[in-house]
Amino acid sequence: MNVDELVAIDVHTHAEEPCGTHPDDGYDALQAQMAVYFNQPNNRPTVEETAAYFRARKIGAVIFPVDAERETGYRRYSNEEVAEKAAANSDVLIPFASIDPAKGKTGAREARRLIREFGIRGFKFHPSMQGFYPNDRSAYVLYEAIAEAKLPALFHTGQTGVGSGMPGGAGIRLKYSNPMYLDDVAVDFPDMPIILAHPSFPWQEEALSVAQHKPNVYIDLSGWSPKYFPPILVRYANTLLKHKMLFGSDWPVIKPDRWLSDFEKLDIKPEVRPLILKDNAVKLLGLKTAGSPAR
């Protein structure tokens, strides 16, 4: 990856297509509703199609699956397969893995193996889809494996479009994704970078508070068009948290073209824009730029 040639780094993109090979598990119905919610019908590209999209725009992308099969019944996309496909497109893709914390010590062993053998650069959690409170001590054995490698853990926060409008929200409970639960995790794992994904509606101020108070906590701005960002989020992005805000799209349901177009119209200071779009992610992910060694 030639970081110097990239115009931005998207820290939040999904690897989706294998789930679509299991129409009997209900995933098709879930994705159909997601397409309505985000007004985005083409929401299951392959990893190769994802790489081509980002390559054409000179944007790097963190890509990950979501291991929520225990809670949802939808089979997970193999972490190894995501890593291998990302490695084949390493000029633009950065692989994160996803492991259900309920797997305990088995999950921790998987995490260490993925880091050691597949070059995984971080981990994705979705508390609402995985059905757990992030500060539940049962998850800590997995966090320990991530923290010892000093890799980032990215957590979905706030409301989710997954299951929105479906009976019972497809069984997905919003309560697990309050960002305040991650304050405990930030205290207990101060050397593990934590990314709060999305504007955290309806807990935006909680997210800002945790990110401001804890040095290892960041916020990615994915999942919403910037034109819908609440004023307090924009204010903090321009000031106190300008070094902690990260560009994320939530591909494929929100395309970077749309996000970046709306971001251009947002009242962000000129000197802050490159921090959000690229520089903060370069530092957080330990990416190599001209004249600086990788972490």
The full set of domain ranges for the chain reads 3-285
Residue 244, SS3?
coil
| CATH node for 3-285 | 3.20.20.140
Which has the higher per-residue pLDDT, 77 or 8? 8
φ/ψ of 179, rounded to 5, equals -65, -20
Query: Which structure tokens are listed for 189?
Result: 């794992």
Distance of CA 191 to CAs 138, 194, 203, 285, Å?
Answer: 19, 9, 25, 13
DSSP state letters, 121-183: --EEE-HHHHT--TT-GGGHHHHHHHHHTT--EEEE-S--STTTTSGGGGG--GGGG-TTHHH
Structure tokens at 227: 């034109």
Instruction: State the first-to-last Cα distance of the chain, in angstroms, to the nearest integer.
Output: 14
Which pLDDT tens digit goes with each residue over 261-278? 999 999 999 999 999 999
Tens of pLDDT, residue by residue over 205-232, are 999 999 999 999 999 999 999 999 999 9
Which of the residue ranges 131-135, 163-167, 196-200, 229-233 would you say has the lowest mean pLDDT?
Answer: 163-167
